[in-house]
Amino acid sequence: MILREESGVPLAVTALSVAYRDEPVLWDVNWSVRAGSMTAVVGPNGAGKTTLLSASLGLVPRLAGDVRFWGQPFSAVRDRVAHVPQRESVDWDFPVTARDVVRMGAMRGAAWWLPGWLVPTRAGRRETERRVEDALVRVDMTELGARPIGELSGGQQQRVFLARALAQDADLVILDEPFAGVDEGTEAVLTAELRRLAEAGRTVIAVHHDLGSVARHFDDALVLDRTVRAQGPAAEALATWRGDVGAAAAGV
């Protein structure tokens, strides 16, 4: 019998390799995320950052290796994990309002797929709406809740998707490039809310492209370039990686 012991590690990746057809994208990745931390995934373009997150969430098939969330497979804990997608992967002309998107997160759980007219309890519906409004308030989007998502600015769209993750009340929030192309106001809202999550004991993982601000925003970092180059406290991991790159350059 396999013991599925609950562990305190929100995400542990062991010997993970991923390939698109016969093209390896990730090779033997070993990575462990600290509970309650804000962890950045950084690395050059094409390093496999998004693929690492997708493979962890079971959205891309694994070639080899294992991914555990609190010691369990993703399928056992999916509602405890929230995912904020990359902006480019969203259909912005879809007929939904900001509030509808947030409601998707608030309705996670056993019977989310039931149509409204089949949901029995009024209390359940009220609870859902309360969570939606709370999340909208936290990202300062209450007034724009009725707008179609396509009519929002890039920063507002990013806030809506963070609100969806907040409404889900997840223990682990995974974001793909949350700061890409957003205004300063949104960046401040995002960092404040993510920091609040971490202080409440939740774990935040984000793909991040700006090496200069990693140490300012995040506690830990994973430096990825098809395989793990460095991991640990953000400043140290970056220094290790720079050192490696420097040594390699000097060796040439």
Spatial neighbors of 2 by CB under 8 A, at least 6 apart, are: none
Only one of the segments 77-85, 120-128, 181-189, 228-236 lies at the binding site for other proteins (rule: CB under 8 A); that segment is 77-85
Q: Closest CB to other proteins among 8 and 116?
A: 116
**Per DSSP, what are the bridge partners of residue 32?**
12
Q: Work out which of 49, 80, 83, 138 binds other proteins, going by CB under 8 A.
A: 83
- Alpha-helical regions (H) of the chain: 49-56, 74-77, 98-106, 122-138, 154-168, 184-199, 214-217, 234-251
Q: Are 42 and 214 in contact (CB under 8 A)?
A: yes
Spatial neighbors of 124 by CB under 8 A, at least 6 apart, are: none
Spatial neighbors of 160 by CB under 8 A, at least 6 apart, are: 98, 101, 102, 139, 141, 149, 152
Q: Closest CB to other proteins among 100 and 140?
A: 100
CA–CA separation, 146 and 148 (whole Å): 7
Per CB under 8 A, which of residues 25..64 are in contact with other proteins?
A: 54, 57-59
Q: Work out which of 17, 32, 97, 142 binds other proteins, going by CB under 8 A.
A: 97
Only one of the segments 1-9, 90-98, 183-191, 202-210 lies at the binding site for other proteins (rule: CB under 8 A); that segment is 90-98
Only one of the segments 1-9, 23-31, 73-81, 195-203 lies at the binding site for other proteins (rule: CB under 8 A); that segment is 73-81
Q: HSE of 97 in the Cβ direction (CA atoms, 13 Å)? A: 12
CA–CA separation, 193 and 9 (whole Å): 22
Q: Closest CB to other proteins among 83 and 226?
A: 83
Spatial neighbors of 197 by CB under 8 A, at least 6 apart, are: 166, 173, 203, 204
Only one of the segments 82-90, 128-136, 203-211, 231-239 lies at the binding site for other proteins (rule: CB under 8 A); that segment is 82-90
Length of the chain: 252
Q: Are 95 and 148 in contact (CB under 8 A)?
A: yes
Per CB under 8 A, which of residues 99..158 are in contact with other proteins?
A: 100, 104, 108, 112-115, 118, 148
At its nearest, how many Å lie between other proteins and the CB of residue 60?
A: 10
Q: Work out which of 6, 23, 75, 247 binds other proteins, going by CB under 8 A.
A: 75
Q: Closest CB to other proteins among 17 and 112?
A: 112
Q: Closest CB to other proteins among 37 and 54?
A: 54
Told to check if 20 binds other proteins by CB under 8 A, we report no
Q: Which residues bind other proteins (CB under 8 A)?
A: 54, 57-59, 75, 78-79, 81, 83, 85, 89-91, 94-97, 100, 104, 108, 112-115, 118, 148
